[in-house]
A and B are shown apart, each in its own frame.
Chain A
């Protein structure tokens, strides 16, 4: 069982220091910040490496950071074989919110990425079925953005906004 710091060091030795960062809040879980271009390669490595074996993606969340004008994806991984947990984060600018999809690595990401697109407006490159999941296809905007304004009418019916 490895601690997040050790996993970070291990990743650095494999991928170099470029595009990797480690931070923590005042409380709670630390996370590894990863360059969007690297996320797919690192995910695959974390799943397959004999010392990592992160066979499950517990959760994938989209977040809007209005101050930095960025969108983010948080990946919570767990290895049921080695009982270790790690948090990965990717941040992208709001004008170009493209993140490579990890759907081929963990199928859990399929619906979770669609949800993150639907709610926050992230775009997952190479996702096989990239469309809204909870809201209708012709809905306007992404509700979990901090500056979201609900549309007044949907197909002629008031939405209660």
Chain B
């Protein structure tokens, strides 16, 4: 803590560090706050505590496929979605056909992961604001998804499950019934969560009208995912730039409408995530119906990955927003350059803009509402 005299106003201001070990920063993030009393004058995020230089590893691996486990470790709460983007990029570079059964299993997995990730985001958001109980409710449900993942992939957090044009192994025989059981039991839980947290008046007081992000600012900063949709923009890559087989499913894009406060406030961003879980359930149901029972998920995996010379930028919709992979190939066995465009990195850069003038207690709500994962920010 340090006291300084402001050059502009001549007032006494205080500079404090929030983090890097702060319970509501969702990892190791340090915010340098300049305060006038309780009001935030300036906020500067300091990142890099989890930096491992994923991009260098991706260049140094002697095989494109060996990078897949590293992608898991970027956004470790939605590892499946990180793998999905990477394998799609390689499939486009190699111009490979992906078997039907693989596509369906991938979509089911990706949507289950989206629900699991949103549950964590929502639960932790409530926890930041002092609501402990909903966190436990969310984790109970998330646990059921992780159980399904564990039986299918062998891991609970970092799966290494997707392969180029295939999967590392087939799902277990009860996968379909287990997943549809989960969908049935989970749907009423969303209503329970709404009663418990979404429409709780203390929660609304802490989140409505706080951290407002207008549409224009959101585009200028390159916001995506629930953060952009919270500002009322109907934009979802699953619909607007379809990849995999998302164009076959019927689902809606929930957007914020400022129903309890201002358009683009923390509550809007929060409720978009809750409503997205319902849509994910719809996609899972349709995918379970369409999924072929037969088919070898490992048959199409190429033994050797050697893309021709060229480069590609592929983006997919992860629970946090647009995850882009920019891959340059120079015909060798490893990539010349891999750049991961992480949504959390972009969203965190908006923090100074949306937190200016708010109270220090609301900073916690704002950081929680953009739902960052530091593993992905720092890569």
Contact = CB atoms under 8 A, between A and B. Distances in A.
Contacts of B132: none
B134 interface: no
A29 B312 CA distance: 5
B326 A56 contact: no
A26 B310 CA distance: 5
Interface string B85-117: 000000011010000000000000000000000
For chain B, which range describes its interface: under 10, 10 to 19, 20 to 34, or 35 or more residues? 35 or more
Contacts of B326: 59, 61, 74, 76
A107 B349 contact: yes
Contacts of A136: 48
A161 interface: no
Overall SS of chain B's interface: mixed
B48 A133 contact: yes
Interface string B304-315: 000111111101
Contacts of A74: 311, 326
B309 A25 contact: yes
Given A107-B221, A108-B346, A59 B311 contact: no
Contact of A143 (B53, B93, B233): B53
A111 B55 contact: no
Nearest to B217: A107
A80 B235 contact: yes
B295 interface: no
B346 A111 contact: yes
Given A80-B235, A111-B345, A135-B48, A28 B378 contact: no
Interface string B343-355: 0011011100100
A157 interface: no
Nearest to B353: A107
A24 B95 CA distance: 16
A143 B349 contact: no
A39 interface: no
A58 interface: yes
A58 B350 CA distance: 15
A106 B220 contact: yes
Nearest to A25: B310
B339 interface: yes
Of B59, B310, B350, chain A has the most CB atoms within 10 Å of the CB of B310
A50 to B, nearest CB: 16
Contact of B324 (A26, A76, A119, A134): A76
A135 B51 contact: yes
Given A25-B309, A25-B310, A28-B310, A58 B341 contact: yes
Nearest to A116: B339
25 contacts: A24-B310, A25-B308, A25-B309, A27-B309, A27-B310, A27-B312, A28-B92, A28-B329, A29-B310, A56-B222, A57-B222, A63-B337, A80-B219, A106-B222, A108-B221, A108-B346, A111-B345, A119-B53, A133-B47, A133-B48, A134-B47, A134-B48, A134-B379, A135-B51, A143-B53
Given A28-B93, A111-B345, A133-B48, 6 more contacts: A24-B310, A27-B308, A87-B313, A106-B222, A108-B346, A134-B378
The 6 closest A-B pairs by CB, nearest first: A25-B310, A108-B222, A28-B310, A27-B310, A28-B312, A26-B308
